[in-house]
Amino acid sequence: MNNRWRTLDIVIASTLGVAFGVIFWAWGLLWNGPADAIPLPGRAVIYGVWLVPAVLGALVIRKPGAALYTLTLAALVSVALGTSWGWTLVVQGPIEAAAAELAFAAFAYRVYRLPVSLLAAALAGLAAAIYDIYVWYPGTAWDSFRLPYLALTTASSLVVAGLGSIALTQALANTGVLDRFPAGRTRPTI
């Protein structure tokens, strides 16, 4: 297995990162707009969108650092476009991505099936929730806010980033656009 990044890997990971950076910017408008009517921690049920690039990037590129690169770039693009969270995303994005990267590293970057994707998504969601609790919600109570927030963020990450990234990878592979990648040749399966 060659873990060396090709130019094509960088281009595709960058394309995913930039696309999701724009999606993040728009998602932030929803998060702070209409979704703001849903009080936290309940709003965390839609949190998983923020973590898709880490899992999707790893599933498509299948090389060390793909999760970290893709989500970090997405975070940087969203910062450049302007978000209400500002430069804090420069720290938060890589933390979440590194957590997802751990799941793929634990399987030596050789397993890209649903259980590993779910683990990556859950670890990213857990890292995101812990970061949020200590940076954005430091004075909140464990029983009424922190534990539900941790659970909802992790569950959202499992469904949206874990299952969603598998579905997106399958959809992209079925179009033939990933034929030059292992994800396109093996057609990811559950």
Report how far residue 164's alpha carbon sits from residue 117's, in angstroms, rounded to the nearest whole number: 10
What CATH number is given to the structural domain containing 12? 1.10.1760
Contact 61, 7 (CB under 8 A): no
Tokens of 123: 């670890």
Model pLDDT for residues 108-146, shown as the tens digit of each residue = 999 999 999 999 999 999 999 999 999 999 999 999 999
Quick one: pLDDT at residue 187? 53
Task: Report residue 1's pLDDT band, with 50, 70 and 90 as the boundaries.
Answer: low
Residue 1 lies in a domain: no
Residue 2 lies in a domain: no
Quick one: pLDDT at residue 39? 82
Residue in the structure block whose two tokens are 């994005």: 93
Overall average pLDDT of the 24-50 stretch: 87
Quick one: pLDDT at residue 33? 85
For residue 101, give the nearest of 64, 128, 48, 59 by alpha carbon.
64
Q: Kindly give, in sequence order, each residue whose CB lies less than 8 Å from that of residue 37, ignoring residues fewer than 6 positions away.
A: none
**Percent of the chain topping pLDDT 70:** 97
Report how far residue 58's alpha carbon sits from residue 66's, in angstroms, rounded to the nearest whole number: 5
Structural domain containing residue 81:
7-186
Model pLDDT for residues 11-32, shown as the tens digit of each residue = 999 999 999 999 999 998 888 8
The whole model's pTM is what?
0.92
Tokens of 28: 């932030």
Half-sphere exposure of 64 toward its Cβ, with a 13 Å CA cutoff?
8
